[in-house]
Amino acid sequence: MLALQSFEELFRENHAHCLAFATHYTGDSHEAEEIVQQVFLKLWEKRDTIVITGPVKAYLFSAIRNAAISQWRKAAVRSEKETAYGLSRESATQAADVRELEKLYHQALDRLPERCREVFILSRHQQMKYAEIAEAMNISVKTVENQMGKALKILHQELKEYLPLLIIFLF
């Protein structure tokens, strides 16, 4: 159970990192702020029942990623409705292609082993250095290197036919 003072400390220590992660992940600072606030609000609301195993920062990043995916799904539904009401077929097809690529990327990311996924997200989405990841996750730098290698190999295998398009649309 989180007391108010503990929660405030947790918020102060992690808000900036969470916001940076969410901004990088979504590409939109306003959407990122909304997602981070939503994650901390849910954490506060569930403070009596929530059990966090592992690093808090990794939990928060996962919650942010899940909230962003949820918002993207809602936006995709809105976009599909807008498309049905008159957007050109070409722009609708391009938007659907981008959404499909994002979906494939996130599905592949979700299939990574948990530690691999956390290391990959911290490195590629949060732009953390291996030493920072090692410290945040309480593991060695060599383990971070191994997990990144494993994550990249798995993602490359799963997404090899889409790599050129993913590079263009997602990065």
State the CATH number of the domain containing residue 109.
1.10.10.10
Encoding tokens for residue 24? Answer: 């990088």
Which CATH number characterizes residue 58's domain? 1.10.1740.10
Same domain, 113 and 50: no
Same domain, 6 and 75: yes
For residues 55 and 25, give the distance between their C-alpha atoms in angstroms, rounded to a whole number. 20
The model's pLDDT over 8-52, given as tens digits with 9 standing for 90+, comes to 888 888 889 888 888 887 888 888 889 899 888 888 888 888 888
Domain membership of residue 69 as a residue range: 1-87
What lies within 8 Å, CB to CB, of 152 at 6+ separation is 120
pLDDT at 52: 81
| 56-65, 89-98, 99-108: range with lowest mean pLDDT | 89-98
Same domain, 163 and 131: yes
Residue 79, judged by CB atoms within 10 A of its CB (0-12, 13-18, 19+), counts as middle
pLDDT at 113: 94
What Rg value do the Cα atoms of the chain yield, rounded? Answer: 18
pLDDT at 126: 82
Structural domains of the chain, count: 2
Same domain, 112 and 75: no
Same domain, 137 and 168: yes
Question: Does the pLDDT of residue 169 top 80, yes or no?
Answer: no
Domain end residue (candidates: 65, 87, 109): 87
Same domain, 65 and 105: no
Same domain, 10 and 83: yes
